[in-house]
Structure formats: structure tokens, C-alpha cells
Amino acid sequence: MKLKKAIALSALMVGMGFGAPQWAAASEGVALPEMEWGHKGAFGRFDVAQIKRGAQVATEVCLGCHSIKYIKFDHLRSVGLSEADVNALAETAGKNKKDFMITELAPEDAKESYGTVPPDLSLMTKARKGYENYVYGILTGYLNEEEAAKVEEANEDGEITDAEAEELAHVLHMSAHGAEGKEKIRQAVARIANGDNFSKYFPGNFFAMPQPLMADAVEYADGTEATLPQLSEDVTAFLAWASEPKQTERKEAGVKVVLYLVVLTAMLYAVKRRIWARIH
């Protein structure tokens, strides 16, 4: 378990630390996965269990090099987490519940090691086109084991035939149309074989961030199976909450205001009808 966490942390530190400028262009790549988020819409609400799981992923993995600087651990009480849950998360990060979710990685150390400071994640689901789908897509857009095996098998002899290029086009989400398309696939396979990080949802398909999450990167306290899609969905939901902690209160207030205006409009209309009844 510790090894898996260490691998996930190192991936985040190497990749997300200097991936921000490239992330900004990701919306131009392959269409992002369309997820259904329960907190979306006028009546959408955050799932407390999911936010708790996402906070666990953020605490055990993301805080290794990123901050969520506008959120204190104690703020999680507002979304339904218990005092014990909040204290446990803070303790995992070596902090107390009144502390902000700030990484222990010093900016000067980050610059020295990676050339830049890892971006803060507080507003990440608001800052990129695609919003939650963008973050989820980035976390899940790497080649899975089966896809990686197909690429490796096709490149076993160091040569990619036209037929193999067309087959790999579906795996890599790239076009194999014409000689130019097939050549791009050959170049992509060569870079993958060289250890470069391939993403289905990135323009140009390659960027700095190694895969930050993998199955069982954390052990969920509630026993939920920690698959890659589950981890990615949970931490994305948590980051969505972190970007707007008062969303539920805002929506509830909005519903009350709309109901008030409906009642007020009906009352004013009734008064108007009564006052002007003789004239009409």
C-alpha cells in the first residue's frame, strides 16, 4: 500500500507540478467523457459519502505536492462529515482540523526539482473548459493495461505496418487516415515506447504528467472498491465541492427566493384585480 501511494505521489509531483500551461489547452483535444454529476443542476446535491472518499484521495495523494489553499479540513463539516472524519483526515496529512489544506512541498523545493510550482487545485474544476469532465478525463485518459499491451505488441519488431496503424487508431483515439495519419501513429507509438506520457484527451496526446492515480492507490475507509474510475470520480467531486463549498446553501436559498417571488407575484396580481375590478 505504501509503495502504491509513493508511486502515485511521485507521479503527481513530476507531472501536475509543471503541467498547468499544457492543461489549459486540453479542451482542444478528443471529446471529454460525459459524466453525470449528482451535484449539478438546480436541485443537485453533493453526496456526503463521495465527498468523504474524495477528501481521502486528496489528502493521501494530491496534498503530496498540491495545495487546496481555500479549504480548511474543518470546512468539511459543512458538507456532512463528522468531527471524527475531519480529525482523521487532518491527522493523515500531519495537520489539525483548523489548518488549510496546504502541501508540505515548499515552493522553492518544487522550483528547484521541477522548474515550477504545482498549481493549486481549489478552483481546478472551474478553471478549465469541461469543468468536472475535464478533471475526470485527465485522470482517466491514460492507456489502460490492455491498450498498453496492444501498443507494445504492435511495436514488438520496431515497425508499425499500415494495418497495425489502423488498428491502433482506435486504441489511441487518433486518425489513421492517409500516410500522414499513419505516420503520426508511428511517432506516437515510438514516444510511448520511449516512456513519454500519452493522454487520449490532450492535444498532441503527450504531456508532462505521469498517471497520478491507479487502482487501490488508497484504501477507502468505507470499503468501496478503489478502482481508477471510482478514485477519479470521487476526487473530482471533492474538488468540485472545494471550488464552491456554499453551493448547496446557494441552491437552497435560490429555491426559496423563487418560491417567494411566485407567491408575491400571485398576491400582487390578486390585489391588482381587486383594486381595478370596477374599472375592468
Of 266 and 80, which is predicted with more confidence? 266
136 and 241 together in one domain: yes
> Looking at the domain assignment, is residue 53 inside a domain?
yes
> Looking at the domain assignment, is residue 253 inside a domain?
yes
68 and 129 together in one domain: yes
pLDDT digits (tens, 9 = 90+) for 187-238: 898 899 888 889 898 777 888 778 889 999 999 989 999 999 999 999 999 9
User: What is the residue range of 71's domain?
Assistant: 2-142+208-245
137 and 175 together in one domain: no
> Looking at the domain assignment, is residue 203 inside a domain?
no
pLDDT above 70 for 10? no
43 and 101 together in one domain: yes
178 and 43 together in one domain: no
Annotated binding-site ranges: 62, 65-66, 209
> Looking at the domain assignment, is residue 136 inside a domain?
yes
> Looking at the domain assignment, is residue 174 inside a domain?
yes
Confidence of residue 21 (pLDDT cuts 50, 70, 90): very low
Annotated binding-site ranges for heme c: 62, 65-66, 209
Q: How many domains does the chain have?
A: 3
35 and 165 together in one domain: no
> Looking at the domain assignment, is residue 112 inside a domain?
yes
159 and 226 together in one domain: no
Three-state SS across the chain?
CHHHHHHHHHHHHHHHHHCHHHHCCHHHCCCCCCCCCCCCCCCCCCCHHHHHHHHHHHHHCHHHCCCEEEEEHHHHHHHCCCHHHHHHHHHHCCCCCCCEECCCCCHHHHHHHHCCCCCCCCCHHHHCCCCHHHHHHHHHCCCCHHHHHHHHHHCCCCCCCHHHHHHHHHHHCCCCCHHHHHHHHHHHHHHHHCCCEECCCCCCCEECCCCCCCCCCCCCCCCCCCCHHHHHHHHHHHHHHHHCCCHHHHHHHHHHHHHHHHHHHHHHHHHHHHHCCCCC
